[in-house]
Structure 1
Amino acid sequence: MVTADRLIAVGIMVLSAYFMWHATVLPIGWNGMTGGPGGGAFPFWLSAIMMATAAAILVRSLRGKTDYSGDFFDPDTLRSVVSVVIALVVTIGLIPWVGAYIALPLFLLWYLRIFGKHGWVLTASLTIATPLFLFFFFEVTLKILLPKGLTEPAFTPLYAIFF
């Protein structure tokens, strides 16, 4: 289990370094022309946070601060991980056709209500609040358009209001 922690932490650190290097193709600082961060800012800094977190996991395992016992994945855990991975692949596959604002709430609905067995109040509030937050954060604030697929015509009135 400790070996798995170390291998995964190193793997995530390598991927983070690659993502950071690749993000520098676009500007990562403040872009004065658009009045916002450059196109590579979020990928770069999120990758940096991911690398720091993986490094902390690696240091913790090297210091012997882990209390793991047993297998890396028991059958129930493996089944859960596989079902979530399949749901994520389906969600990513749906984004070009139905758009992010439909695919992501569908995933949240499945993940919270069916997989996680949470109540309807939490499920409904997160399923509704997430696309609203994403719209205002990415499209209105940062001016980064997310894929809309079939729902593109529904956004025309919103663009008239916010742009």
Structure 2
Amino acid sequence: MRQGEISLAGLLALFSMYLMWKSTELPIGYIRGQGPGGGFWPFWLSVGMLLSCVAIAWNWWRGKSPASVSDEPLMDDFGWRSVILVGGGIVGFVALIAIVSMYGAVGLFLVYYLRFLGRHSWMLTLTMAVTLPFALFFFFEGAMQISMPQGLPFTQPFFDLMYDIIY
């Protein structure tokens, strides 16, 4: 547990620094008359993440967190099984984006996660799996004007109908 805590804090700190460096390719300050630059949010959120990693490392060094004084293994069998099931679901989600679109992949992932991993009712599962992709569509495609991947051609009738609604 002790090694896992500091290792993860270090890995996330490195990732934070990479994101800070990468986001400086765009303006990270406030642009007069336009608002925050394109790199503003990624940069400053990464600064927050880096500061959090420093706080975790500080508490680890002082032995103030339960994990920093634990000799227990990082994860038991249940923990590894959970990582494999959730990680596999995320890999499946990413693979499905190119086939059934971003919104279809979100819906299918929610069915997998809520019904099969979370064992929630079909009513809740289907409500979330249908409602959230529609809400995301109207947010990204309608309000933000950001197109998400549309998958293979068989998904085009859905997008045609949805674009007719927002335009």
Normalising by the smaller structure, the TM-score range is 0.7 to 0.9
Helix, strand or coil at the partner of 1:147: coil
Helix, strand or coil at the partner of 1:61: helix
Match of 1:54 in 2: 53
- The whole-number CA distance in structure 2 between the counterparts of 1:141 and 1:96 is 23
AA paired with 1:18?
A: Y
Give the TM-score, by structure 2 length: 0.78
Match of 1:162 in 2: 166
Match of 1:25 in 2: 25
Match of 2:90 in 1: 88
- The whole-number CA distance in structure 2 between the counterparts of 1:121 and 1:31 is 47
**Considering only CA atoms, is the larger Rg found in Structure 1 or Structure 2?**
2
AA paired with 1:107?
A: F
- The whole-number CA distance in structure 2 between the counterparts of 1:135 and 1:31 is 29
Deviation at 1:7, TM superposition (A): 1.1
Helix, strand or coil at the partner of 1:149: coil
Deviation at 1:115, TM superposition (A): 0.9
Match of 2:133 in 1: 131
Helix, strand or coil at the partner of 1:134: helix
Deviation at 1:42, TM superposition (A): 4.9
* Structure 1 gaps, min length 5: none
Q: Which moved more, 1:118-127 or 1:145-154?
A: 118-127
- The whole-number CA distance in structure 1 between the counterparts of 2:83 and 2:17 is 25
Deviation at 1:101, TM superposition (A): 0.4
**Per-residue CA distance 1:22-55 (angstroms, 9 max, x = gap):** 133244567899x786554554454344334433
The residue correspondences of 1:5-16 to structure 2 (distance < 5 A) are 5-16=5-16
* Structure 2 gaps, min length 5: none
The residue correspondences of 1:140-159 to structure 2 (distance < 5 A) are 140-150=142-152, 151-159=155-163
Q: Which moved more, 1:87-96 or 1:125-134?
A: 125-134
1:30–1:140 distance in 2 versus 1, CA, 3 Å: farther
Sequence identity, in percent? 41
Helix, strand or coil at the partner of 1:72: coil
Query: Residue 120 of structure 1: which of 119, 122, 134 is its match?
Result: 122
1:45–1:158 distance in 2 versus 1, CA, 3 Å: farther
Deviation at 1:146, TM superposition (A): 1.0
Q: CA RMSD in A?
A: 2.9
- The whole-number CA distance in structure 2 between the counterparts of 1:32 and 1:157 is 39
Aligned residues: 162
Contact 1:36 1:142 in 2 (8 A): no
1:160–1:122 distance in 2 versus 1, CA, 3 Å: closer
AA paired with 1:25?
A: E
